[in-house]
């Protein structure tokens, strides 16, 4: 049996790194995607099984297509894509500069779309595969100081739900995880160390996501909502 190929964007830290560790331990070949090679190498240092690192800006369709073409040529078709890459800039709507607006829409929304487009044709051709979108509870409810971040995540939610309808007659599965804040570098400079310490652990979130993604007979979990207990 061929080794399954798992692609994780935003794999350099936090949830992406936790997911990479678990899928690697389970025997999958894990493709670590991200913008910063040093962070990806840090994640890779904790993996004992086969893996590869790909530097990529998911907001660039050209870069995304290049990387996924390389993955297909060297490893074969992708069995699981986890769209985890994301960025947040939090402030009152009128204070967000143009660069912050572009980054959140380009990485959070366009990045998810571009990576999904890169694997979808082959998955549909094979009539198998899984795409998991890591969305955030900001894709369910608007939040003060998170207007554009939330807008990008509502966009991912709309993309996910629409694609689920497109794939109803297919065995390609689409999953969405809507979760609250986790302990990660994402919140550095936004929350205090004490506030970050009280957030959910990425390892716990990874366990929940993997348990819900798992293929089960006559059962399909389309989404899960994971919130802090306070």
Mean pLDDT within 35-46: 96
Annotated catalytic residue: which of 23, 54, 149, 178?
A: 149
What pLDDT, in 10s, does the model give residues 64-115? 999 999 999 999 999 999 999 999 999 999 999 999 999 999 999 999 999 9
- Its pTM stands at 0.93
**Per-residue confidence at 1, pLDDT binned at 50, 70, 90?**
very low
* Strand ordering across the sheet containing 173-179: 51-55, 29-34, 5-9, 80-83, 130-134, 173-179, 223-226
Question: Which two tokens mark 149?
Answer: 């971040």
Q: What is the pLDDT of residue 218?
A: 85
The domains located in the chain, with CATH, are 5-226 (3.40.50.720)
Between 68-82, 176-190, 211-225, the lowest mean confidence (pLDDT) is in 176-190
Q: Catalytic: 178?
A: no
Q: What is the pLDDT of residue 47?
A: 95
Mean pLDDT within 52-62: 98
Mean pLDDT within 190-216: 83
Q: What is the pLDDT of residue 12?
A: 95
Rounded Cα distance, 145 and 180, in Å: 15
Number of neighbours of residue 95 by Cβ within 10 angstroms: 10
Rounded Cα distance, 9 and 77, in Å: 16
Mean pLDDT within 40-62: 96
């Amino acid at each position: 049996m061929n080794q399954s190929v798992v692609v994780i964007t935003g794999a350099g830290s936090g949830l992406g790194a936790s997911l990479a560790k678990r899928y690697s331990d389970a025997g999958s070949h894990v493709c670590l995607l991200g913008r910063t090679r040093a962070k990806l190498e840090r994640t890779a240092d904790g993996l004992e099984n086969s893996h590869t690192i790909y530097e990529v800006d998911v907001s660039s369709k050209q870069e995304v297509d290049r990387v996924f073409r390389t993955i297909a040529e060297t490893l074969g078709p992708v069995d699981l894509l986890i769209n985890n890459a994301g960025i947040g800039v939090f402030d009152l709507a009128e204070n967000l500069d143009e660069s912050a607006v572009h980054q959140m829409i380009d990485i959070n929304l366009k990045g998810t779309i571009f990576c999904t487009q890169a694997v979808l044709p082959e998955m549909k051709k094979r009539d198998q595969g899984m795409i998991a979108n890591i969305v955030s509870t900001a894709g369910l409810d608007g939040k003060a100081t998170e207007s554009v971040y939330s807008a990008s995540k509502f966009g991912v939610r709309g993309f996910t739900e629409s694609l689920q309808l497109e794939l109803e007659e297919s065995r390609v599965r689409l999953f969405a995880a809507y979760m609250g804040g986790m302990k990660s570098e994402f919140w550095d400079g936004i929350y205090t160390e004490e506030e970050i310490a009280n957030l959910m652990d990425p390892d716990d979130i990874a366990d929940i996501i993997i348990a819900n993604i798992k293929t089960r007979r006559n059962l399909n979990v389309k989404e899960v909502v994971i919130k802090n207990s306070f």
